[in-house]
Structure 1
Amino acid sequence: MSLPVTWLFLRGLSREHAHWGDFPERCKQELGWNCIHLDLAGFGSENHRSSPLSIPSIRADLQTRLNTAPHEKIGIIALSLGGMVALDWLATEPERFSHSILINSSTADCPPLHRLRLSNLSPMLRSLGSRSVKVQERNILNMVSNQSDTSEALEHWCQIRQQRPVLKSNVLRQLAAAAHFRSPAKRLIANPPLFIASKADRMVSWRCSERLAKKYRSALLLHESAGHDLPLDDSGWLIEQLKENLGSL
């Protein structure tokens, strides 16, 4: 099956399109992709709205806003909670996508201690409880990145929040949606995704991606040292893996 030209990018919990950084531009320049973005309801361009309380409802909202040609087969690349949305979309509208890439994702049928590491409960609560955007974003970065110096990313992420503020109620609504989403039946996924995970992910265990890859008989690629936000920590490695592996799917 030929690779699609157009790829839809979906981010995860409390994040928006700008959090991809330069990764989509690199995909355009190095892979020849036409990169398009849709923010989940409640975040980014949609921050004036309430986030739905279920992954299927988040997906249904995105479906109404995707304006590609109805018969054009596109690809989808999604990170974390975005991967749950992608899985649900693959199961409900399989004719829309020819290829999918899910990075550091999980579902409710993964073991609870693999979905959210206990060590992250404290920084997550501090982030939700703080009134300081900088404190919130620093705590998030500490959970999702393994870089030794995240000062540049912190400044960028604070700017994003200033431009498009996030309601804590929407973060909690997304968490509730994610908590209840189970992976679709194997028979519903016509074209199995490519799963990519970070073995050093301190937020979600890579074992969740391993479990999902086994369920769908999919390929699994592992990074040894990057954090949960793999495109932030090592976009170069990720681009090379896509160059080497997408053609064989």
Structure 2
Amino acid sequence: MTGSVNAGFQGKVMGDWVLLRGLVRQQKHWEQFPQRFAEAFPEARVHTLDLPGNGLLCDRPSPLTVREMMESARQQLQAKGIAGPVNLLAISLGGMVAIEWMHRHRHEVDAAVIINSSMRDAGTLFDRLQPANYPAILKNLLLERDPLSREQLILDISSNLYPHKQELARKWSGYATTHPTRTRNALRQLLAAARYSAPKRRPHDRVLVLNSAHDRLVNPVCSERMAQRWNWPLRTHPRAGHDLPLDDGAWILEQIKQWQQEQTAS
């Protein structure tokens, strides 16, 4: 992937933006966010990808390393004819993939927005997956066979503000039926995320970190430590849950707009 540097921040939010979801989530779980991003930033080109084991790639085995997940995303872009450099917007496990991408292929990335993510070096096991959710997560991964019940459980943990959870859970259960993430793949993704450590050097200069003060899945301190470690700007939503794009996508877009303006002025 080659191209001119800084295409995403030449006075406007523009260029190619790649959206990456998290653990056992697929690109459809972005719901209206990609469309709203495109409407807010009409000179940007939005691309959503699935990680192996999820969504359109549900028949593939999930890699046991974040690096392999990242390389899969790169290959998907290359297959689409996207030469780069690109901008990354990624949540949770997707955020780890974005960090690894910047670390391994820095020249391919203009900028990144990392949402509610974590790494081994940025939080304890209990920070990265808050203990109150262990029974629910184990039930979800190992015991719950009904897609609707499983998606209701995920929404209850990950969203604080979305007003129509039951309706959305029914929709998401349809995704889980047509493109299911198998239990084996869910466990492989969980293992890859648990093992992922921070790069030794700062992966990139142009990174915005967003977190949710009331994230009940990942302790927001993980984002705080990540931002502090690499001197990246951090902005915190006061009420949203882990699935910040679902709870308040408009807030994310406003933070990107303000950040872009600051980058242009500096």
Q: Which residue of 2 aligns with 1:61?
A: 72
Further displaced range: 221-230 or 52-61: 52-61
Matched, 1:163 2:178: yes
Matched, 1:36 2:36: no
Could you state the TM-score of these two structures normalised by the residue count of structure 1?
A: 0.95
Q: How does 1:40-51 map to 2 (within 5 A)?
A: 40-51=51-62
Q: CA deviation at 1:152?
A: 2.4
Q: Which residue of 1 aligns with 2:21?
A: 11
Q: CA RMSD in A?
A: 1.3
Q: Which residue of 1 aligns with 2:135?
A: 122
| Alpha-carbon displacement from aligned partner over 1:11-55 (angstroms, at most 9, x marks no partner) | 000001000010010000111221001100011110010000011
Q: Which residue of 2 aligns with 1:80?
A: 92
Secondary structure of the equivalent of 2:89? strand
Q: Name the aligned partner's letter for residue 243 of structure 1.
A: K
Q: CA deviation at 1:149?
A: 4.1
Secondary structure of the equivalent of 2:120? coil
Aligned equivalents of 1:173 and 1:34: distance in 2?
31
Secondary structure of the equivalent of 1:98? strand
Kept in 2, the 8 Å contact 1:146–1:226? The answer is yes
Pairs aligned (count):
247
Q: Name the aligned partner's letter for residue 23 of structure 1.
A: F
| Alpha-carbon displacement from aligned partner over 1:100-125 (angstroms, at most 9, x marks no partner) | 00000000112222111111001111
Could you state the TM-score of these two structures normalised by the residue count of structure 2?
A: 0.89
Corresponding residue to 2:216 among 186, 191, 202:
202
Q: Name the aligned partner's letter for residue 25 of structure 1.
A: Q
Q: How does 1:209-224 map to 2 (within 5 A)?
A: 209-224=223-238
Aligned equivalents of 2:85 and 2:72: distance in 1?
19
Structure 2 unaligned segments of length 5 or more: list them.
Answer: 1-5
Q: CA deviation at 1:191?
A: 2.4
Q: Name the aligned partner's letter for residue 18 of structure 2.
A: L
Aligned equivalents of 2:171 and 2:227: distance in 1?
33
Q: Which residue of 1 aligns with 2:3?
A: none
Q: How does 1:17-28 map to 2 (within 5 A)?
A: 17-28=27-38
Q: Name the aligned partner's letter for residue 194 of structure 1.
A: L
Q: Name the aligned partner's letter for residue 253 of structure 2.
A: I
Q: Name the aligned partner's letter for residue 207 of structure 1.
A: V
Aligned equivalents of 2:65 and 2:116: distance in 1?
20
Secondary structure of the equivalent of 1:182? coil
Aligned equivalents of 1:190 and 1:204: distance in 2?
23
Aligned equivalents of 1:98 and 1:35: distance in 2?
14
Q: Which residue of 2 aligns with 1:113?
A: 126
Corresponding residue to 2:115 among 103, 108, 112:
103
Aligned equivalents of 1:105 and 1:113: distance in 2?
14
Aligned equivalents of 1:6 and 1:182: distance in 2?
27
Which runs of at least 4 in structure 1 moved beyond 4 Å after TM superposition? none
Aligned equivalents of 1:141 and 1:119: distance in 2?
15
Aligned equivalents of 2:82 and 2:144: distance in 1?
43
Aligned equivalents of 2:167 and 2:235: distance in 1?
28
